[in-house]
Amino acid sequence: YLKYILNTMKTTSLAVLGNVLSAPMIGYAFGKLKWPGRDKVFMLVVATMMLPFTVTMIPLYSLFSRLGWINTYIPLVLPDFLGTAYFIFLMRQFYRNLPDEFMEAARIDGASELWVYARIALPLEKPAVVTVALFSFVWSWTDFMGPLIYLTKSSKWTISLGLSQFTNTYGVDWALLMAASAIAILPMVILFFFLQKYFVEGSMSSGVKG
């Protein structure tokens, strides 16, 4: 069980890192930069949110299998480094509410776009980044379908697959299952307890303007 927890901490940490790096940057490009076809590309990104995982499950498995990534953690964390549609949408909404005067003043002084993003835009969106990190942590920590599909060796299983082992054809060991479940949700409770200020602030500020 400890091995499952360590495996989950590994995949969750990478997933959070990927989303925190990619979503704010892509959201900034959609929210504050003007380039041809920006709105159309954004609508295409948002449209991918309407596709259920069951639709893309087989093509993704086939792709990762050909790349030799089955039974590795790459399929579980790589998509997060490429950008998650929901988090991109969330960060874009935050950036849309950010006054342009802050960025324009820096550009007039000769700052590069990367400097403007890293030194001005990103620090002002700390609640949004924390919200992305928290959601990403919860989604990755509780993910069951992804590890079930891509991880074949029990030594690489995550906590979600580990909990399923308490159920067998002869019944359920409810005492052990409840104890294991309590341990599994403990990190999420602790994380939310310490970050609830930023989470509530971020949730209240997002999506106010389109």
Q: Is 121 exposed, middle or buried (0-12, 13-18, 19+ CB in 10 A)?
A: buried
Residue 194's pLDDT is: 77
Lowest mean pLDDT among 75-79, 82-86, 181-185: 181-185
Cα 180 from Cα 12, distance rounded (Å): 18
Tens digit of each residue's pLDDT (9 = 90 or more) over 32-75: 888 899 999 999 999 998 888 888 899 999 999 999 999 999 99
Question: Phi and psi of 167, rounded to 5°?
Answer: -110, 130
Q: Is the per-residue pLDDT at 206 higher than 70? A: no
**Residue 161: strand, helix, or coil:** helix
Cα of 79 vs its chain's centroid, Å: 9
Lowest mean pLDDT among 45-59, 75-89, 186-200: 186-200
Lowest mean pLDDT among 56-65, 76-85, 127-136: 127-136
